[in-house]
């Protein structure tokens, strides 16, 4: 009788338990950590020309500042679930946030490219852990009927973080100093540590799991991706296999991937369950995730570089242009549950991938007079494509595998997307070097010293400046400027072709269940 009285009238459904304050503080901590981590992916992009100048790095070397973070994230994301089980969620996050803060300070104090890259690798390893664990907090601390609120908050953060990064970094670079793009993490980390201590309960560590780790896979993942990245980034500059460094990196990459595959057959629980890629649908989702990463991270890196070099934009102005693609994402976010239930995944992903490809293709007709306004339409279109692509592919990656493999699938999908970003930055570096040289030579060959127009121009400069050499120098600068514009047109064209190549994979997708709920995105 007493029990019936507590439960209410006979036959009435029991009252749903809502999350307490501690649970919401934990969710706030997870969301804030994810924001900090995703923000730092791109916070250097608009300020990179300034950073390169102060560190004495070239444009291709400067790409390492962005690439190092992405590659480190690829390694840590699949390891996060294991590390969380071994240390306990709160202890693991406290360690990750503390180390992330230390590496952020190292980046802010950097006076050389090497020191900066070391700091960015450390940031990627520790910051990357804050993203999947945020999804874990939502799943563990919120009752099912309130998880959509946490998921929506995380979705906004996951999309806005990389877009706000160039704006925040640009504002700090122009009004304070680029160093504070990294020092900004110190007070945020202080708030985050407090929220973690209050909102998450302590869990006993299970250090015995240390012995069960897939150490071959862990070492292979780090060596394989690290060696491949150096191979791609430095290959063109070092004349590929003519360089001892490139030969060594190629061997390192082969050894690393060999160890990774060895771990697949010998470990009880591989660091990355590559066998999931053999599933037709998940393999298609992961491949399109790579293409999504290529366009998403590639354009957010290339646009600020173009605007700084050609339009003489400062870091803040470039950041505002990059942020434009976040407007459609924010406007569409409230309609996420309806879209998932009403729109066929093949239609949504197909439109999203085409929008991403078209947005990059729209940037293939840049000229020496192009400014930020040239990117407005393409950035808005890219925002629509990003949310459709990320939203539905994130759902499909979990729905295409058995429930017990959902965590591995999510980690692998996120790693594949970051791998696409790493490939994009390496590809941009290669294209910048090769195509800039090619276009410069072709333009120079088209200029005949006996051409009356060339002679008149040099004579005019001689009359105006009192020196024929000044006219020749101005011709050289004009050639380099035009060659650089043509190179960026090639870069955006290459990114648009990536989406065209993977588009047929859309037809391998299966419709989502009608009761699917919005999944967290990163």
Print pLDDT tens along the chain (522 aa).
444 444 445 454 455 688 888 888 888 888 898 888 888 887 887 788 888 888 887 766 777 888 888 888 888 888 887 888 889 889 999 999 999 999 999 999 999 989 999 999 999 999 988 887 887 788 778 887 777 677 777 767 777 777 788 888 889 988 999 999 999 999 999 999 999 999 888 888 888 888 888 899 999 988 998 888 888 877 877 778 888 988 999 999 999 999 999 999 998 888 888 888 998 999 999 999 999 999 988 998 899 989 989 999 988 898 889 889 888 877 887 787 778 778 888 999 999 999 999 999 999 999 999 999 999 999 999 999 988 888 788 778 877 888 777 777 877 888 888 888 888 988 888 888 889 989 988 887 777 666 676 666 666 666 666 665 666 677 777 888 899 999 999 999 999 999 999 999 999 988 866 555 555 444
- Within 8 A by CB and 6+ apart from 200, the residues are 26, 29, 89, 90, 93, 137, 141
Clarify whether residues 137 and 218 are in a common domain: no
CA–CA separation, 394 and 400 (whole Å):
10
Clarify whether residues 132 and 77 are in a common domain: yes
Task: Look up residue 119 and give its two tokens.
Answer: 């700091």
The last residue of one of the domains, among 153, 176, 201, is 201
Clarify whether residues 402 and 510 are in a common domain: yes
Clarify whether residues 461 and 496 are in a common domain: yes
CA–CA separation, 325 and 359 (whole Å):
10
Does 425 fall in a domain?
yes
Does 14 fall in a domain?
no
Separation in Å, CA 69 to CA 39, 62, 158, 161: 12, 12, 16, 14
Q: Within a 10 A sphere around the Cβ of 332, how many other Cβ atoms?
A: 17
Clarify whether residues 90 and 115 are in a common domain: yes
Give me the torsion for CA of 459, 461, 462, 464, rounded to 10°: 120
Clarify whether residues 193 and 257 are in a common domain: no
CA–CA separation, 23 and 152 (whole Å):
16
Give residue for tokens 């990294």: 182
Question: At what angle are helices 21-42 and 113-127 packed, to 10 degrees?
Answer: 150
What is the domain extent for residue 139?
19-201
Task: Look up residue 220 and give its two tokens.
Answer: 């292979």
Does 7 fall in a domain?
no
Alpha carbon 246 to chain centroid, angstroms: 25
Cite the beta strand spans of 41-93 per DSSP E.
Answer: none
Q: What is the DSSP letter of 401?
A: S
The last residue of one of the domains, among 250, 270, 290, is 270
> At 308, which helix (H) or strand (E)?
helix 280-309
Contact 293, 416 (CB under 8 A): yes
Q: Is the pTM of this model over 0.85?
A: no
Q: Considering its fold, how many domains does the chain have in total?
A: 3
Clarify whether residues 167 and 218 are in a common domain: no
The last residue of one of the domains, among 175, 201, 227, is 201
Clarify whether residues 126 and 224 are in a common domain: no
């Amino acid at each position: 009788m007493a029990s019936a009285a507590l439960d209410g009238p006979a036959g009435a459904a029991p009252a749903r338990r809502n999350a307490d304050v501690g649970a919401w503080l934990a969710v706030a901590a997870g969301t804030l950590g994810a924001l900090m981590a995703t923000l730092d992916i791109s916070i250097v992009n608009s300020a990179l020309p300034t950073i390169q100048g102060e560190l004495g790095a070239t444009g291709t070397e400067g790409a390492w500042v962005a690439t190092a973070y992405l590659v480190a994230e690829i390694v840590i994301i699949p390891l996060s679930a294991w590390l969380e089980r071994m240390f306990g969620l709160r202890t693991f996050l406290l360690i990750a946030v503390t180390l992330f803060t230390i590496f952020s300070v190292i980046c802010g104090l950097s006076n050389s490219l090497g020191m900066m890259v070391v700091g960015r690798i450390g940031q990627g390893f520790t910051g990357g852990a804050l993203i999947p664990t945020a999804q874990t907090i939502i799943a563990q601390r919120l009752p099912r009927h309130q998880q959509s609120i946490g998921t929506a908050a995380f979705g906004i953060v996951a999309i806005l973080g990389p877009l706000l990064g160039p704006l925040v970094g640009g504002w700090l670079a122009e009004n304070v100093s680029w160093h504070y793009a990294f020092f900004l993490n110190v007070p945020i980390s202080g708030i985050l540590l407090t929220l973690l201590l209050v909102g998450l309960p302590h869990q006993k560590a299970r250090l015995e799991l240390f012995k069960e780790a897939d150490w071959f896979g862990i070492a292979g993942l780090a060596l394989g991706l690290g060696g491949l990245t150096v191979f791609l980034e430095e290959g063109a500059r070092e004349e590929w296999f003519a360089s001892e460094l490139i030969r060594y990196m190629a061997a390192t990459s082969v050894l690393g991937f060999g160890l990774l595959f060895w771990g697949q057959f010998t470990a009880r629980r591989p660091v990355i369950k590559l066998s999931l890629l053999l599933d037709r649908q998940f393999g298609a989702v992961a491949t399109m995730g790579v293409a999504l990463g290529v366009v998403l991270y590639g354009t957010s890196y290339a646009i600020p570089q173009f605007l700084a070099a050609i339009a003489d934009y400062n870091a803040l102005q470039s950041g505002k242009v990059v942020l434009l693609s976040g407007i459609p994402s924010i406007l569409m976010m409230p309609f996420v549950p309806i879209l998932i239930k009403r729109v066929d995944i093949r239609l949504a992903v197909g439109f999203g991938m085409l929008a991403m490809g078209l947005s990059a293709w729209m940037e293939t007709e840049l000229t020496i007079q192009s400014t930020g306004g040239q990117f407005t339409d393409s950035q808005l279109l890219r925002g629509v494509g990003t949310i459709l692509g990320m939203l539905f592919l994130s759902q499909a990656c979990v729905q295409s595998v058995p429930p017990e493999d959902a965590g591995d699938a999510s980690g692998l999908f996120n790693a594949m997307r970051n791998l696409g970003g790493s490939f994009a930055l390496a590809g941009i570096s290669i294209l910048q070097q090769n195509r800039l040289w090619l276009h410069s030579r072709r333009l120079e060959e088209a200029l005949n010293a006996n051409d009356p127009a060339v002679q008149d121009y040099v004579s005019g400069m001689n009359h105006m400046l009192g020196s024929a050499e000044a006219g020749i120098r101005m011709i050289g600068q004009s050639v380099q400027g035009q060659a650089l514009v043509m190179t960026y047109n090639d870069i955006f064209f290459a990114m648009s072709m990536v989406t065209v190549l993977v588009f047929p994979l859309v037809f391998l997708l299966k419709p989502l269940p009608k009761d699917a709920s919005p999944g967290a995105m990163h």
